Amino acid sequence: MKRKGIHKPTIEDAIEIGGIETLHPGGFALTKRTAELCKLKEGLKVLDVSSGRGTQAVYYAQTYGVEVTGVDISEEMVNFVNQRAKENNLTDKVKFILGDSQKLPFPDNSFDVVINECAVGIPDNSQAVLNEMQRVVKKGGAVAMHESTWIKPISSKKKNEISERYGTTPLEFKEWIKMLENAGISEIISELEQWSKPEMFWDIRKDRKVTSYKRVMTIPEKTRTVFRIMKQYGIKGIFKVFENEKIFFKTIFNGELGYCLFKGVKR
Ligand SMILES: C[S@@+](CC[C@H](N)C(=O)[O-])C[C@H]1O[C@@H](n2cnc3c(N)ncnc32)[C@H](O)[C@@H]1O
């Protein structure tokens, strides 16, 4: 869906501006589960689509010995994470390049596994993202994604409003399955219930347990984020983020929005 950008800065914008390391519901537990389902092991070539701050790519390389390429549309993220890889002597195992997930800069059948953590719904054309993930994975290779998923019937007007405030476009479970199938991905397995608990939306930090949505960021991180939002969007931007956060979390507490992990295979 093409969002109009009428509620900027969105929740996604604020999280990205904040600079924290894990940018998806389910946090690191979900990253580990994704690796497990994709059976990551030494020698495999993995593509991490919309790799963000590279936390997951680095984890995959260090834990499973896989070779990871990350691709992201944000120059700031790509530069940051390439620098981090250099500092940690990881450049033979991970590399990050600039690119659009709707038109991936790789030939067909380039990777053994292709993963997208929380970023299929962000670009205008989610179907194009999945088509591209299917195109660049080898035959028999695993494709995995996790994304926000409507779990109660709500009006399209409300869906559009939440998508605008969130900065991504959730779909219903059966709509995600259809999109994956349309992309040519089969043998789809999914995990919805365990990743849809409200705490999954805030317990996202790698090194500490978060017990409330108000505590995702530490005070210094919040201060830095507020300062950056002010600089980019002015004072109105701060009010907008608080408004978005309040309305967004209401849909989580109401049980309208959940989160789902999908894994399939290219046959
Ligand atoms: C919610 S974050 C997820 C980052 C990372 N996968 C994670 O889970 O921590 C979304 C990421 O998608 C990237 N992104 C947004 N639109 C994109 C596009 N069209 N192509 C590639 N990356 C995109 C953003 O720059 C951001 O890094």
Looking at ligand 1, which atom is closest to the CA of residue 100? 20
Alpha helical stretches, state H, the chain = 11-18, 27-37, 55-64, 75-87, 126-136, 156-166, 173-182, 219-233, 235-253
pLDDT recorded at residue 52:
95
With a 6 Å cutoff on the Cβ, whether 132 touches ligand 1 is no
| 22 close to ligand 1 (CB < 6 Angstrom) | yes
Residue written as token pair 């969105």: 10
The CB of 24 under 6 Å from ligand 1? The reply is yes
Q: Note the pLDDT of residue 88.
A: 86
Counting every residue written for the chain, the total comes to 267
For the whole model, what pTM was predicted? 0.97
Structure confidence by residue, pLDDT tens digits, 25-51: 999 999 999 999 999 999 999 999 999
3-state secondary structure 165-198: HHCCCCEEHHHHHHHHHHCCEEEEEEECCCCCCH
Question: Could you count the other beta carbons within 10 Å of the beta carbon of residue 108?
Answer: 9
Contacts for 74 with CB less than 8 Å, ≥ 6 apart:
16, 52
Residue to probe by mutation, ligand 1, list 71, 73, 84, most atoms within 8 Å of CB:
73
Average pLDDT of the residues in 50-76: 96
Three-state DSSP class for residue 12: helix
pLDDT in tens, 194-227: 999 999 999 999 889 999 989 999 999 999 999 9
Q: What is the best residue among 2, 21, 50, 59 to mutate for testing ligand 1's pocket, by most ligand atoms within 8 Å of CB?
A: 50
Instruction: Indicate the CATH number for domain 23-157+167-206+257-266.
Output: 3.40.50.150
Is the C-beta atom of 10 inside 6 A of ligand 1? no
